[in-house]
C-alpha cells in the first residue's frame, strides 16, 4: 500500500447536508481526494474509516497503473 502524505497523514472533512454527511479523505502529498456519503447519525469513526479505505484503494490503483 502506498504511503499517504507526510508520516502517513490523511485529512478527513465532514460536511452535514440534511440527513446525510459528506466525508472527504485527502492525501496531502498527492492531492488525491476520496468522497463517501453516509447517514448523519452514523458514528464519525465509521464514516472516516470508509473514506480512508476508499482513498487508500484509489492511491493503490494509481500506483499500480504507473507501474504498467
**Per-residue confidence (pLDDT) for residue 7, from 0 to 100:** 72
Decide if 15 is inside a domain: yes
Decide if 24 is inside a domain: yes
Decide if 1 is inside a domain: no
The domain total for the chain is 1
Percentage of the residues of the chain whose pLDDT score is greater than 90: 81
Decide if 33 is inside a domain: yes
Decide if 21 is inside a domain: yes
Residue span of the structural domain in which 14 resides: 6-67
Edge-to-edge strands, sheet with 11-17: 11-17, 20-26, 33-39
pLDDT tens sequence across 29-44: 999 999 999 999 999 9
Decide if 30 is inside a domain: yes
The pTM of this model reads 0.85
Decide if 46 is inside a domain: yes
Q: For residues 13 and 41, what is the distance between their CA atoms, to the nearest angstrom? A: 16
Decide if 36 is inside a domain: yes
Amino acid at each position: 500500500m502506498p504511503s499517504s502524505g507526510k508520516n502517513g497523514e490523511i485529512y478527513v472533512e465532514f460536511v452535514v447536508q440534511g440527513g446525510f454527511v459528506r466525508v472527504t479523505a485527502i492525501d496531502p502529498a498527492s492531492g488525491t481526494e476520496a468522497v463517501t456519503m453516509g447517514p448523519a447519525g452514523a458514528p464519525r469513526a465509521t464514516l472516516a474509516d470508509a473514506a480512508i479505505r476508499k482513498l487508500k484503494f484509489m492511491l493503490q490503483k494509481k500506483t499500480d497503473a504507473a507501474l504498467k
